[in-house]
Structure 1
Amino acid sequence: MAGLNFIRRPYSWQGQAGQYAPVIDGTKIPSFCFTTIQERWPKIVTKLVDQLHQFQPEAVKMYGEQGDADVKLVTSKLSEMRYLMMTDKPLHDISTDAPDALVWNSELDKYRKDNGPENGGKRTLLCSKPSPPDGHRHRNCWLTEKEISIEETRVTILRILQIALWGNKCDLSLSGGDPHFISDTLFHELEELEGNILVNDLHIAVNNFILRPESQLAQLDIVMDNAGLEVKVVLHGKAYPWFVSDTTKKDMDWVLEQLASDEDQYLSKLGIRWLQFFSEGKFDSSFVIFKGDLNYRKLVGDRYWPLETPFTEALCGFGPAPLLALRTLKAETVAGLSERAIKLIGSKHSEKDLSWMVTSEYAVAQLFDPN
């Protein structure tokens, strides 16, 4: 079938058993990573500069000349960052007192050494992974609040997981922060979309883990993607956002505070109870759900894995607990595809057409069980 060999080995990688796949960087044109670095990041930084300009009069009113000077300093630094991104200048050490600055600077030093003397030991953004070396902070909360009544049935749980999977088609970061809205039609298209799930372990995950007796499934954890339509159990945010809509502690605190102060007495009781549970540390995991494209890319190391590489191998030893990865494809990395899935892709796309890896048309629901 035309394109099948190419699809099996994106970018003609000729690896050997036991070797890691090459790391994704921005040198491939066109690619998700190149577009991210050349277009998305500068747009996001530009929006931050615009927001600061709008805030400047308020800063002067609140803090006087010092506030005005601070805003000008930050906008200057951001403008410089945007220039460095767009011109692919070498990465510099992070000069802040952030708790993880030493870790990042150590990694940057390794990158410089690995890049070799022929390039002056310089590491640029286009030679880096598609996740920024220093996460930018985005404070606009984008959350669809919706009560979801979960019946104790297999069909309902499968439906919820499918909604969570395809809900990743709504992602603020892909537009640089422009709002997207979840279409009601998503809830009526699950059967049609199911044919585009290239790896579907949902039934195994539900039967073997989620519907276990309560005494066996002590806790279900969800590693969150975007602050959007989320399904509740235990939610893990990020220390800082890799991209615009990533969920941070501030987003979680905001949601809990909104619930606790809601006029509806039941929502308010729920919010107060959750706040208490968080403060008492009651929330520990028997099964973890990783939701979203970015979390998937981190699981497989942002690498060009051959499509048939077992998902377990692509995890490179990571497996703190049984886990389920829900992801719609938005970047040129995926592993664990079956022969059937590879043939499906080959029947619809030509040899050089990798657009199927970035359009969110296809999805995977991949299970890892360490036992």
Structure 2
Amino acid sequence: MALPPPLSAKDEKSFAYETIKDRLPLIVTRIVDFLARHRTNFAKQYGEDAENECKSCISAMDKLRYEIARDAENECKSCISAMDKLRYEIARDKPILLLNDNHTDDIHIWNEYLQKEMDQGKVISWFQSNWLLVECYMYRKIAEAFNLTAHLQHVDPFIEMKQHAFHSSAQAIDVVLAQLNIDIEQTTDPVNNKSTIEQQFYNYMEISLWGNQCDLSLSGGANRSQEHDPFHQITELKTHILINHETSVFNYLYDQQAYLLNFDVCIDFVLDNAGFELLTDLCFADFLISKRLCSRITLHLKCFPWFVSDATKTDFNWLLEQLSNSSSNSVWQIASKRWQQHIQNGQWIIQTHRFFTLPYDYSYMQQISSELYCTMSQSKLIIFKGDLNYRKLVGDLRWPLNERFETALRGFQPTSFVVLRTCKADDAENECKSCISAMDKLRYEIARDKPILLLNDNHTDDIHIWNEYLQKEMDQGKVISWFQSNWLLVECYMYRKIAEAFNLTAHLQHVDPFIEMKQHAFHSSAQAIDVVLAQLNIDIEQTTDPVNNKSTIEQQFYNYMEISLWGNQCDLSLSGGANRSQEHDPFHQVTELKTHILVNHETSVFNYLYDQQAYLLNFDVCIDFVLDNAGFELLTDLCFADFLISKRLCSRITLHLKCFPWFVSDATKTDFNWLLEQLSNSSSDSVWQIASKRWQQHIQNGQWIIQTHRFFTLPYDYSYMQQISPELYCTMSQSKLIIFKGDLNYRKLVGDLRWPLNERFETALRGFQPTSFVVLRTCKADVQLDIDLKVGQELTKIDPRWMVNGKWAVIQAFFKKQTEKDI
């Protein structure tokens, strides 16, 4: 059967066109407004305490789940559990506890530090304690989870991110190494060519400096590769160096006269990040050795994975392997051979020391690690790389901007040193600005029908599915742009692009830009909520035997199903985010709007459910409820779910929520939990508290199961579910009924295609038949089925926008025929 063409914004008379032209840019504008008003609050609220709150854990666990040997599977699960526990404790500002991996060589130092803080009566928790302490403690707790295993002690949960960032910088690496090889091969006498060497020194020092931008802890693990020509970049960014002592550093080193070969001039290089930054640091170290500005360099690496991308010995060795094994790039091999020679000659000394992964700042080094302090004191210069080293040098204290650097060191003076650091503290406000910039760019691209591009937040678990989908469309030669492509695709893509903007930040990953709108709409519906919950409590408290009171339960079933149906009018994506609250008595509304239900299968649905005989308690009758909007609609859905459980029309309900903010007002787990909190914390309204207590009991009893699945935020319609997410399809197949809420679910069921009004609903499903289901939907898109053409013509005369204004609705069901396999 030839399928009709998909809905898209090509047709200027369609609602899809109106959506892409007006509604989507309006929604993006509201996000810009939201971010602009709250940028200062974000800086205060999110800080850097939880900069890797979720991302590092998820990435680490994804890697472990797929790459660790089978005999370590249980240990992997224990690490996942530890990460979940850590994430929970951070989010809820739980107390910081002593470490437990007693076989490690640093635990006594860590625990003595923590115990001392506790003994002083200080509040030691994630949001109350010193930022430097809690951030270091988080990475030490991650290490503890792996240390407590037998097989995974040497697993680096950040390895993929670091290596990916390195490979993503391949072009920049080519440029730097090619020029470095040329500069080093040129014989330049340091005595007679001081000015040439001095300029080259500044080049490699500044390339090392700006390499520090590739810090994965800042991005929460999102790719931060080097995309520009580093030599052009240092020219462009010269004015961005706020304090520049490079001339003094060069003259200081040059005056040591290492080039005369009569003096042993040693340098300590305290490294920061792996990947491209490590490569730039080694280029600088290579230059210093090769031009005889020093005779030995000690490279200090971390003992274990730290701050996502900090360089370990494993990272160092891996980088050398990448260079030496690059059969297609001789400049990489030349540099690698020279660097390995530095190591063999003892000109580069590779070291690790536990002090760099302790909670102490550098003013304590002489006391805590006196041997390290003594060794560093023998160097002519220490080069400290990165933001964390800077914070440890100055104690991470709130120094005035005009305070002298020497004062802030508080006595740490083993020898002369320099810090190469890009400023990254107090960064949430800058990230807010980056999100605003991303929204502006998105708004511009929509308005000008720009091409749709692949996504870039590579750490997310759905990006490969999204990009495979988009790439396949491109490979087929289709025009993929805002007004030329399928409406369903571009509308879903916009919300995924919004998510991408936040995913690429360290602090705003869990910010919901629609949260204010959703919560305001809920509070605006308070009176309607009172009415619904008061009647629901009465109906549920009445003991009605399902066998002898079928007609009573049936009428109540219709009431709560239709209240849930019309709750779907409170859809903020339809209004572009403008408030859409419930202002009428919902029970009066269901009576008044009865004639506005164009397809009404509610009687068939009730009889179907009643015949499952869940009320006899002998059968496990499960329902899947695919929710739509938060706020008042979510409340009406939960009222319906409460009624179904309480009247024993089913035994279990799985409530499906979205993984992240979607279509402005779609309900997430955060929205669900917030709604329960509003009900339970309402001191002035007992009907709210009674309902909340009952709903929480449903969850505790396992009668309500709360789930999210990425399929619901993919561009695929439901006919692809069995192929893309077979485990979800299989789970849903085991339910007796699926309740799909809202317009987007309807569009995904029928493929968002231009079906004739009188086409059969079952035909439009194109094989999606996991089980029986019903759709509760107010009409908000140019697609509707099972409507007689004459009826459609009459409706158009009465209300020309009946298909899109949400004033008309359907309760449309599909009942799967039982086969021998089903029985």
Which range, TM-score by smaller chain? 0.7 to 0.9
Task: After TM superposition, give the deviation of residue 125 of structure 1 in Å.
Answer: 1.4
Cα distance, 1:210–1:100 mapped onto 2, change above 3 Å: farther
**Separation of aligned partners in 2, 1:71 and 1:279:** 40
Instruction: Please name the residue that 1:367 is paired with.
Output: 813
Cα deviation digits, residues 151-191 of structure 1 (max 9, x gap):
65211111222222222222211111111221325532434
Q: Distance in 2 between matches of 1:21 and 1:238?
A: 29
Q: What amino acid is the match of 1:292?
A: G
CA pair 349-128 structure 1, distance change in 2 beyond 3 A = closer
Give 2:467's aligned residue: 105
CA spacing shift, 1:207–1:84, aligned 2, 3 Å: same
CA RMSD of aligned residues (A): 2.8
| 1:333 equivalenced with 2:333 (yes/no) | no
Is it true that 1:139 corresponds to 2:500 in the alignment?
Answer: no
Whether the 8 Å CA contact 1:260–1:270 is kept in 2: the answer is: no
| Percent identical | 33
1:73 paired with 2:434, answer: yes
The residue aligned with 1:20 is 3
Q: 1:58 to 1:109 in 2, by over 3 A?
A: same
Q: Which moved more, 1:317-326 or 1:192-201?
A: 192-201
Cα distance between partner residues in 1 of 2:16 and 2:624 = 29
Q: CA deviation at 1:333?
A: 0.5
Q: 1:20-59 maps to which residues of 2 (within 5 A)?
A: 20-59=3-42
Give the corresponding residue for 2:285.
none
Give, in whole Å, the separation in 1 of the partners of 2:602 and 2:704: 33
Seen in structure 2, the aligned counterparts of structure 1 residues 25 and 205 have a Cα distance that, compared at 3 Å, is: same
Q: Which position in structure 2 is the counterpart of 1:223?
A: 626
Q: Distance in 2 between matches of 1:273 and 1:115?
A: 53
Matching residue within 581, 584, 595 for 1:184: 584
Letter in 2 for 1:248: T
**In the comparison of the two structures, how many residue pairs are matched?**
344
Q: 1:300 aligns with which of 725, 729, 750?
A: 750
Q: Distance in 2 between matches of 1:354 and 1:21?
A: 23
Which letter does structure 1 place at the counterpart of 2:670? K
Q: 1:313, CA displacement in angstroms?
A: 1.3
Normalised to the residue count of structure 1, the TM-score between the two structures is: 0.83
Aligned match for 1:92, one of 424, 439, 453: 453
After superposition, residues 159-174 of structure 1 pair within 5 angstroms as: 159-174=559-574
Choose which of 607, 617, 626 in structure 2 pairs with 1:207. Answer: 607
Counterpart in 2 of 1:125?
482
CA deviations over 1:189-243 (Å, ceiling 9, x no partner): 4344222322111111111224642145612332112112323323211223431
Match of 1:8 in 2: none
1:357 to 783, 803, 809: 803
The answer to whether the 8 Å contact 2:779/2:806 transfers is yes
- Cα 1:210/1:279, change in 2 over 3 Å: closer
Aligned to 2:768: 318
* Residue number in structure 1 paired with 2:204: none
Query: Please, which moves more after superposition, 215-224 or 314-323?
Result: 215-224
Instruction: Specify the code of the residue in structure 2 equivalent to 1:365.
Output: I
Is the CA contact (8 Å cut-off) linking 2:598 and 2:809 kept in structure 1? yes
Call closer, same or farther: CA 1:271–1:365 in 2, change over 3 Å. closer
Q: Give the distance between the partners of 1:168 and 1:32, measured in 2 at CA.
A: 18
Structure with bigger RCO (C-alpha 8 Å, 6+ apart):
1
Find the counterpart in structure 1 of residue 792 from structure 2.
345
Rounded Cα–Cα distance in structure 2 between residues aligned with 1:202 and 1:316: 23
Are the aligned partners of 1:256 and 1:274 in contact in 2 as well (CA < 8 Å)?
no
Q: Give SS of 2:738's match.
A: strand
2:675 matched to which residue of 1? 255
Greater helix share, 1 or 2? Answer: 2
Query: SS in structure 2 opposite 1:303?
Result: coil
Query: Matches of 1:326 and 1:366 in 2, distance apart?
Result: 7
Q: Secondary structure at the match of 1:174?
A: coil
Displacement of 1:262 in angstroms is 5.5
Match of 2:476 in 1: 114
Secondary structure of the corresponding residue to residue 637 of structure 2: coil
Q: Check the 8 A contact 1:171/1:226 in 2, yes or no.
A: yes
1:276 matched to 2:674? The reply is: no
Contact 1:26 1:34 in 2 (8 A): yes
* Change over 3 Å in CA distance of 1:177–1:349 after alignment to 2: closer
Deviations 1:314-346 (A, max 9, x none): 111112221111112111001122x3xx32222
- 1:27 is displaced (CA, Å) by 0.7
Counterparts of 1:111 and 1:181, CA distance in 2: 39
Q: Distance in 2 between matches of 1:164 and 1:60?
A: 39
Greater radius of gyration (CA):
2
Aligned mates of 1:259, 1:288 — CA distance in 2? 27
Deviation per residue, 1:225-275 (Å, 9 max, x gap): 211232332321122343111011221222344455565564564354345
Partner-residue secondary structure (3-state), 1:242: coil
Unaligned runs of 5+ in 1: 1-17, 117-121
SS of match in other structure, 2:777: strand
Secondary structure of 2:593's aligned partner: helix
Aligned partners of 1:262 and 1:268 also within 8 Å: no
Check 1:46–1:210 CA distance in 2 against 1; reply closer, same or farther (3 A cut): farther
